[in-house]
Amino acid sequence: MEKRLKRIRQYDDIFVHSDTLTCTLSGCVPCLYKINPSGLWFDEENDNYLIVKENQRPEMCPRSNSSTYRGLYNQRMNILTLGDGDFSFSLSICKGLKPKYAKHLVSTSYESYKTVRSTYLSAHEHILELQSLGSQVLHNVDACQLSEGNLPEFKFDRVVWNFPCVAAQNGLDGQATELQLNIDMMKSFFQNVGNVLKQLPDSGSEEASYPSEVHITHKTIEPFSWWHMEDIAKSQGFALIGKIVFDRLALQFIVF
């Protein structure tokens, strides 16, 4: 219990999507863990005693069967996804767009098509579906070398990278031992991403309330917290707008 108490999240600078919160309050354990990684829960029957619920697979969330995704994206936006894995994330965004706007979504992987396909069993199917919906799918896109030369000509309102991590050998992701490599990669990314973001609009323009954003999903426990992601972004001139508990069903992200 003491160990778990230490894992209570600091709530003063993080938002929770209303779907995640509502789900938690109706008893969903995977959502409880998203909000509170300690699993502590108020036991109403015994009034003020805290109990620990054991975590459950994400599929136990009653929303996991829903094909309706809500979140931070809409069809007015040009959206670039980076470092996707099996392309299910890009596909979920794409399905939320009206068909004629699917071409505004550019979905990319760092790896070649061949590597993606051999690493993720479902990738091929997801890529085909994305393409049939009209989204552009690109491979070998390096988030640290973004330029108009290797992407479609338009610029983006949203650039999204979920769980960035340097690639280690055997298809694994680099962890603590690659700390400096990860930091350097993110620094390079934030140095480059401005090349493909739409210009921030003038305060007087129609789009004034609609500036470009970079969304990074990142774990907050050690060793991931050692990256100091916010400091990296700030060092490259980005301001933190907010942090949101990640919920793949609500598509929420850390927002710069």
Ligand X SMILES: C[S@@+](CC[C@H](N)C(=O)[O-])C[C@H]1O[C@@H](n2cnc3c(N)ncnc32)[C@H](O)[C@@H]1O
Q: Which residues bind ligand X (CB under 6 A)?
A: 82-85, 110-111, 142-144, 162-167, 173, 185
DSSP 3-state of 42: strand
Least distance (Å) between residue 50 CB and ligand X: 32
Least distance (Å) between residue 85 CB and ligand X: 4
Instruction: Choose between 23 and 141: whose C-beta lies nearer to ligand X.
Output: 141
Instruction: Choose between 110 and 227: whose C-beta lies nearer to ligand X.
Output: 110
Least distance (Å) between residue 44 CB and ligand X: 36
Q: Half-sphere exposure (CA, 13 Å, Cβ side) for 130?
A: 27
Instruction: Choose between 54 and 59: whose C-beta lies nearer to ligand X.
Output: 59
Instruction: Choose between 35 and 160: whose C-beta lies nearer to ligand X.
Output: 160
Least distance (Å) between residue 64 CB and ligand X: 16
**Sign of the alpha-carbon torsion through 139, 145, 151, 157:** positive
Select the residue whose beta carbon is closest to ligand X and give its number: 83
Instruction: Choose between 35 and 80: whose C-beta lies nearer to ligand X.
Output: 80
Residues forming beta bridges with residue 15, ordered by sequence position: 244
Provide DSSP, 68-125.
---SS--TTS-EEEES-SSSHHHHHHHHTS-GGGGGGEEEE-SS-HHHHHHH-TTHHH
| All residues at 6 or more sequence positions from 28 whose CB lies less than 8 Å from its CB, including other chains | 60, 61, 62, 63
Count, residues in the chain:
256
Least distance (Å) between residue 111 CB and ligand X: 5
Residue 233: closest CA among 245, 218, 247: 218
